[in-house]
Structures are given as C-alpha cells and as structure tokens.
Structure 1
C-alpha cells in the first residue's frame, strides 16, 4: 500500500472558508495530525482517526505524520488558515529535508487555504490593496532583535504589515513594543486593524489609529494589520469605516 500525505488549512474558522480542495483532502484521509483545537473543527467519520498534539510540537508532529504516511496510511496534517503561512507545511518540508529518503518519495500535496490576514482584511475593506508583508511576533524560532529590525525595515519601506501571533501569556509585552517601534517610523494616524476570530461567531473587528492602538485588545486569536502611510480610512454614517490601501504609491522620500 502506498501512503499519501496532504497538508491542509481549514481557513480562519468559519466552515464556509474551508476550500473545496481542502474538504476533498479531509474526506480522502484516514489519519489526521494536528493541534487539538484545529482537529476539533473537523467532522470526522468513525473510520477516520485523529492524533492531537500541542501547538509547540510542530516538528515532532510532522515526523510522526511522515512516518505514518511512509507506513502506507493516507495522512492529513491539519493547520488553521493556510498551511504555508506560519503553519505546518514548513515543518513538513523541514522534516523531509532532514529525514530518511523514503519521506522524499511520498505522494505529498500542500493544499492552499484562506489565511487570517485575508479574512481580517476582507472584513475591514482592502488594507492589502497595495504591497504588504506578514510578520510573526513570536520569538520562539527567531530572536526578538531580528523582529525589531524587520518591523523598522518594512515600515520604512512603506509596506502594510500583518502581525501574526501578536501576544500570549508568555509574551505579553511584544505587541506593545512593536507599536512603539512603528510609532518611530509611521504617522501616528496610520490605521490599525484588530481582527479577532474573523468569520467565527465570536468575531471582533476594531479599527484604531496607531497613536491609540492598545495591545490589550489582542490575543493569540487576533491578526493585527498596520497600514502604510498611504492607507486610508473612509468613514460611513451608521456603518463601520472602510480601511483601504490605494493601488498606486508615491515615490520613496
């Protein structure tokens, strides 16, 4: 029996945002590996088995999934959002690179999904309408000084910034520090979008200026989008404002 491995993302959490391709991969698999809350989003059949693990065990999870697939099983590795954006696709590739030759021969598919910044951006308007980047504020796998350097560089380059993993119990200070760094570079009226649980029943979308942005509004379910100097806010009577980045940009000063 020849094993297979699919790496999928379920989207931001709303079942309607799981792509048909990901749904087909879920239906075809027999064993599922992933962080428990992501596996909880799936409606599995009695013949489908789940193997849940902690969110900090990505590489161990990837190795176990690859070994299971190499043993002939049809495996699905589950992420939230898109599996290639701060998620399991990179861990799978890392494990394959360092693993046995048999893992390189596996039938592997990486299925794209809707990542959090896309869901948050759609709720707010079009803040990603021009050049943008995504940065994780977690320093588990990279040093904090590198994160600071990248924040200054992309803000100075005029990119809209989507921040993943903005805050946690172990890292309560980093988002506030990131805002302080960005205030050194960006206009203080730059729009900041706090998008929590976009598309889910507990969704909360809020917009503030960079001057007023409060790190306490975020948790690990929040994606924070910071505009560029050209990002605009359109007030609408009785409705939430629209935040958008114009399709054109000026010259570098």
Structure 2
C-alpha cells in the first residue's frame, strides 16, 4: 500500500487541491508511515512534525490537526483500491457483494503492510470517532458506486438504498476491520462473515423481491382484493384459527 501515486482527496473544506498540494499531502502520509507505531492520541501537529522531520509550516499548510493527517493516510487505502480495481478487466461482471468482499480483502492486505501503524491508530482515530471520518465517507461512497453503477440492480431496489443504508454498510465494514485488528488470526472468520453478509445483500438486490411485492400490491388494489388480505384474515388462515 501507499507506493503508487494515488489521487489524494482535497483538504477538508478548501475545495479541490491543486496537483502540487496533492503531491505534498501524499508525501506527508508517506512520512507518517515512517513515524511507526506510537500513541498518536498524545501528539499535536508540531510534535508529529518533529518526529517525521517535517517543517511545521508544511504540515499546518495541509492539515488542521493530527486526526486529519491520520485520516488522510487511511483515505489512501480507498484511492489505492480504485487504482487496483481499474486494472481488473471483468470487474463490471462482479456482483455488488463480490465487489464489497473484494474491497474488504484488498484493504486488509494493504493494512497488513503497515499493520503496526494501523493498530496504533485505527480504533482511536477511525472506529471510535463520534463523527464520521473522511475515510468512512470514502468507503460509503465506494459502496454507493458499486450499487449505482450496476445495471442489473432493479431501480426499485436501488431506491431502498438510501444514505443511512450505505452508512450502515460502511460502519459494518469498519467494525469487521476492527475485530480483525483486535483478534490476530481471525481473517478467515472475518472474510466468512463478509461473504455471508454480502450474499444476503445480493439476494436483496438481485432477486426482484421488491418488484414482485409491488406488482402483487398493484394487482390487489386494482382488482379490489385488498379486503382478502387484511391482517386478521391472514392470521386466521396461517394459524387456522376457528374465529
């Protein structure tokens, strides 16, 4: 991870950064890798600048605080994955669930390259934040793209995938990574859980249940059969009640 020149996201609130600024931010995230594992929660920008042997003005020009510097490091995982995924010739044939599993596995491989730094920063700076980090938002955006660019997913199913749903899936991903980092050797368990979870997602997205339910509802209403499907009558039929 972190070796190819992935496009860095803009500095928060300042709009798209020019290429030179993007290169500078990439350089700084590389320096963060060199800082290695330590208690980053006790550091401010000036202290981290000293540790990474970086001019403080250069650090302050790019980041408002240590949190943002570390967040930028994690955002590069998504950037790197986008570059890698662009080289997969049949990626468009993957289901949404397969793409999610692929990203999960690939990101774990990237994190393993700098596992000590990841273990020092992931929980306090990513998983346990009270507000969503840029990394979490980038993961959420990636998941949204997986779904919205898949022409096989019915429009009615896509309408169910609102912002909170994507937020839920991104949080689930973050918690799976957190469990993996806290439990060495749990990769097989995490991937099995991811595969079962994404299999369920595929069933929801591709089996047309929503379309069929909508078609049934439309037929019932158009033919005046709604009274035949009241909850009371359904209960009597299902449980064979005598009243």
| TM-score with structure 1 setting the length | 0.30
**Structure holding more strand per residue:** 1
Which structure is larger by alpha-carbon Rg, 1 or 2?
Answer: 2
